[in-house]
Structure 1
Amino acid sequence: MLRESPYPMVSVSEATALIMAHVQPLRSEEIDALTALGRVLASDVVSPEDIPDVPKSAMDGYALRAADGLAPRRIVGELTAGGTATVAIAPGEATRIMTGAPMPIGADAMIPVELTEERDGMLYIQRELKPGDYVHSVGQDVRRGQMVLAAGTALGAAEIGLLATLGITRIAAYRQPRVAVLATGDEVVEPGSERPGGAVRDSNRYALMAAIREAGCIPISLGIARDDIDVQRQAILQGLDQADVLITSGGVSMGTRDLIKPLLAELGTVHFGRIAFKPGKPTTFATIGDKLVFGLPGYPVSSLVSFEVFVRPALRALQGDATPFRPQIEVTLAEPVRPSPDRPEYQRIIVRYQEGRLLAVTTGSQSSSRLLSLRGANGLLLVPAGETTYPAGSTLPALLTGQLLL
């Protein structure tokens, strides 16, 4: 008699909805704004001042009165961006001025040096000006009271530069999730250990911890738990005690030594135990108290693809990221793609922008054990289940997981 899983098969969209329904951003904390790369803002940032705070020269040249027209001006001084000299401009006068220097009293325009000629202390200009020409006005870049960064924004170099410009050195950011990773299986050994015949090195735990760091979280290694229910129970409880999220690798299929699902059901609530999804059908999601637990398959590709599709968005949402999901794009197939007959498949692809379109090439064999299929991949092609091959030139949706190639 065939053994059947007690868990109904859910769709990718159902699985995603079940996970996200249990995700709430973690509490916020005050941190140093200038070293907050990758952190997510927990509150809006409002500018405390105008930028610039006074009218400033947009270029190197001369500050003057526009009403003087094309008449020559007498040069009465020089202003630099960091200088302290003060000059007042009367009719028929001009002053040299450098980029970023405050405009002098009486001047309402400036002219770039390349549109001028200076002889014997007099300035000759080649075109008439209007008030405000080549001048950065007060609040032109940022206005006092303007919201410059919204809660949920992930901070990059430009955002940190903006905070520094405004003199904001402390911000409220969501706490980074601590994510514990447990490998399971009697056949699994550390990468640096001697490998007995038939054993496998633990690539999943280290690949997952790298992916966790990339997602902005703090990984915690729980090591390898052998196929013993008491050992694995203790390891799960240890992970839950240290972390906000627990990820296990292996032990979620239908074998007699696959112990993770029964343990999660014993300790908490299993929300789904199978997904109509390839690779990664046995991917499992549970909650134990207020902690999230993901049971990922043991095959390396299944583990990482399942992490990318289901776990990473949850980790980004825990950090308060307003856009936790990878961008979805339409790609053109550079070669025929064969679907899986029974489940939608997320095939590993390399996406390039070529001849005005996004062109996708698969990474070769899509076997769940072939980690090479993820090397260099910057996308996951969403291939619906079916029997008909998609010919070259067809378009399909894809998740962009890395930098777009040109």
Structure 2
Amino acid sequence: MIPVEEAQRRILDRIRPLEPATMRFDEALGFVLAEDIHAAENMPPFAAAAKDGFAVVASDTSRVRRLVGEQMAGTVSGPRVEPGTVVRITTGAPIPPGADAVVMVERTEEQNGRVIIHQETIEPGADIRPPGQDIQKGQLVLKQGTRLGPAEIGLLATIGCTSVKVYRRPTVAVLSTGDELVEPDESPGPGQIRDSNRYTLAAAVAEAGGIPLILGLSRDVETTLEELMLQGLEQADALLTSGGVSMGDKDLVKPILERLGTVHFGRVYTKPGKPVTFATVNGKPVFAMPGFPVSSLVSFEIFVRPALRRMQGYPERDLFRPERKVILEHDVHHTADRTEFQRAIVTYRDGQFYARTTGFQGSGRLLSMVGANALLRLPHGEGNFKRGDLVSALVIGDIF
């Protein structure tokens, strides 16, 4: 067995971002940039009014000035501004020739074609956005590794960058194994249970930014299982299985992986998820999760999710869930032989994060994950924890 951190390192050492693809900027929401983006021009590209008002000559001391025209946004039509005159102007409109300041409309009064200025002094450049105030030509506006959200999409539109290079999202083939499993819409017979892992893991893949490809359900027949695994490896960028990784006669996934490729580890000092396995087959990663539902989902969070994010081009700092120090609200039982990830609810109050577990932490009790927004990281080598102790928590949901 190896420590959790060593298992994570072995995975990430063998994972690289997928090859980039070029797509329209407005179709790239949620993708990660594979290139730096620089501005091709100043923004704004011209001196523009920051407020509605009147364009004036700042050095002109006349209190009453003649209105000689108007300058609206989207056109260039205003006459030249001379001392003793003003031009009506709207927010975003180009500053007309001769003007070097804008007086906001609230500080003026208009009477019979003339404008009275109710402002003692006017500074040159007042309420004018100079060219390049927001973005300068050649400026780096988005770095490689940036996830494109609504603000980033809008920024691309602003600078006229309509085509971007982004990393592909990984397609992940998802396969459940086990003679005891039936479909969710079937009534289980004696000794059978409904398969939840396939759908749980597919949803986790999608939440992590991947594209799940559900292969179906394999019985514990070596030839059938191997055929489905090879199908998944052919059709997808990665393979994700559940079940068949323990020590029983019908735990066939590890022997198949040893024959097809290289198994980099098959047991980890972690709870839940000790038999979690990672292999590569023809350069493609294979993640073999334990069969218990909680073991499967927690193992995905700890080992698979960071790998999928690296495949999408996320930088190192964004691969893992954020961690917070939390104060335990009750005693927590923990054996020191493995690093344990207990499901918990973390709340924030009085400037501190507090955590309580979701109850019984059995590996088969998927209900312990429902509503959980954190995984308490209880380290290998330490025993039970007391109420009030400070521990680390991986944040997997919103904290209120």
TM-score between the two structures when normalised by the length of structure 2: 0.95
Q: Choose the corresponding residue for 2:106, options 114, 118, 128.
A: 114
The alpha-carbon distance between structure 1 residues 365 and 61, as it changes in their structure 2 partners (threshold 3 A), is farther
Q: In 2, Cα distance between the equivalents of 1:369 and 1:325? A: 25
- Is 1:52 the counterpart of 2:44 in the alignment? yes
- Is 1:269 the counterpart of 2:266 in the alignment? no
Taking the TM superposition and a 5 Å limit, the aligned residue runs for 1:133-212 are: 133-212=126-205
- Is 1:329 the counterpart of 2:324 in the alignment? yes
| Match of residue 124 from structure 1 | 117
- Is 1:346 the counterpart of 2:341 in the alignment? yes
Contact 2:76–2:94 (CA<8 Å) still a contact in 1?
no
Q: Partner amino acid for 1:327?
A: P
Q: CA deviation at 1:198?
A: 2.7
| Match of residue 6 from structure 1 | none
**Identity over aligned pairs, percent:** 51
| Match of residue 96 from structure 2 | 104
Q: Partner amino acid for 2:29?
A: L
Q: In 2, Cα distance between the equivalents of 1:352 and 1:69? A: 60
| Match of residue 74 from structure 2 | 82
The alpha-carbon distance between structure 1 residues 189 and 70, as it changes in their structure 2 partners (threshold 3 A), is farther
The alpha-carbon distance between structure 1 residues 334 and 78, as it changes in their structure 2 partners (threshold 3 A), is farther
Q: CA deviation at 1:394?
A: 2.7
Q: In 1, Cα distance between the equivalents of 2:62 and 2:9? A: 68
Which shifted more, 71-80 or 140-149? Answer: 71-80
| Match of residue 16 from structure 2 | 24
Q: Partner amino acid for 1:91?
A: P
- Is 1:378 the counterpart of 2:373 in the alignment? yes
Aligned residues: 397
- Is 1:244 the counterpart of 2:237 in the alignment? yes
CA-to-aligned-CA distance 1:171-203 (integer Å, 9 cap, x gap): 111122111011000011111123213311111
Q: In 1, Cα distance between the equivalents of 2:106 and 2:385? A: 59
Q: In 2, Cα distance between the equivalents of 1:256 and 1:18? A: 27
Taking the TM superposition and a 5 Å limit, the aligned residue runs for 1:60-71 are: 60-69=52-61, 71=63
- Is 1:306 the counterpart of 2:299 in the alignment? yes
- Is 1:226 the counterpart of 2:219 in the alignment? yes
Contact 2:11–2:278 (CA<8 Å) still a contact in 1?
yes
Q: Is the partner of 1:154 in helix, strand or coil?
A: coil
Contact 1:339–1:385 (CA<8 Å) still a contact in 2?
no
- Computed over aligned residues only, the root mean square deviation of the Cα atoms, in angstroms, reads 1.7
Q: In 2, Cα distance between the equivalents of 1:76 and 1:395? A: 71
Contact 1:250–1:297 (CA<8 Å) still a contact in 2?
yes
CA-to-aligned-CA distance 1:216-256 (integer Å, 9 cap, x gap): 21111110110111111111111111111001101111112
The alpha-carbon distance between structure 1 residues 93 and 358, as it changes in their structure 2 partners (threshold 3 A), is farther
Q: Partner amino acid for 2:301?
A: E
Q: CA deviation at 1:69?
A: 4.6
Q: Is the partner of 1:257 in helix, strand or coil?
A: coil
Q: CA deviation at 1:70?
A: 6.9
- Is 1:399 the counterpart of 2:391 in the alignment? no
Q: In 1, Cα distance between the equivalents of 2:331 and 2:121? A: 63
Which shifted more, 259-268 or 330-339? Answer: 330-339
Q: CA deviation at 1:126?
A: 2.6
Q: CA deviation at 1:272?
A: 0.4
Q: In 2, Cα distance between the equivalents of 1:185 and 1:93? A: 85
Q: In 2, Cα distance between the equivalents of 1:270 and 1:160? A: 41
Q: CA deviation at 1:282?
A: 0.7
The alpha-carbon distance between structure 1 residues 83 and 332, as it changes in their structure 2 partners (threshold 3 A), is farther
| Match of residue 297 from structure 1 | 290
Unaligned runs of 5+ in 2: none
Q: Is the partner of 2:271 in helix, strand or coil?
A: coil
Q: Partner amino acid for 2:210?
A: C
| Match of residue 354 from structure 2 | 359
Q: In 2, Cα distance between the equivalents of 1:188 and 1:280? A: 19
Contact 2:261–2:280 (CA<8 Å) still a contact in 1?
yes
Q: CA deviation at 1:275?
A: 0.8
| Match of residue 5 from structure 1 | none
| Match of residue 279 from structure 1 | 272
CA-to-aligned-CA distance 1:105-152 (integer Å, 9 cap, x gap): 122221322233333322322342222222211111111111111111
Q: In 2, Cα distance between the equivalents of 1:74 and 1:331? A: 67
Contact 1:338–1:389 (CA<8 Å) still a contact in 2?
yes
Q: In 2, Cα distance between the equivalents of 1:156 and 1:53? A: 25
Q: CA deviation at 1:71?
A: 2.9
The alpha-carbon distance between structure 1 residues 19 and 127, as it changes in their structure 2 partners (threshold 3 A), is farther
Contact 1:183–1:248 (CA<8 Å) still a contact in 2?
yes
Q: In 2, Cα distance between the equivalents of 1:59 and 1:212? A: 47
Contact 2:243–2:289 (CA<8 Å) still a contact in 1?
yes
Q: Partner amino acid for 1:65?
A: V
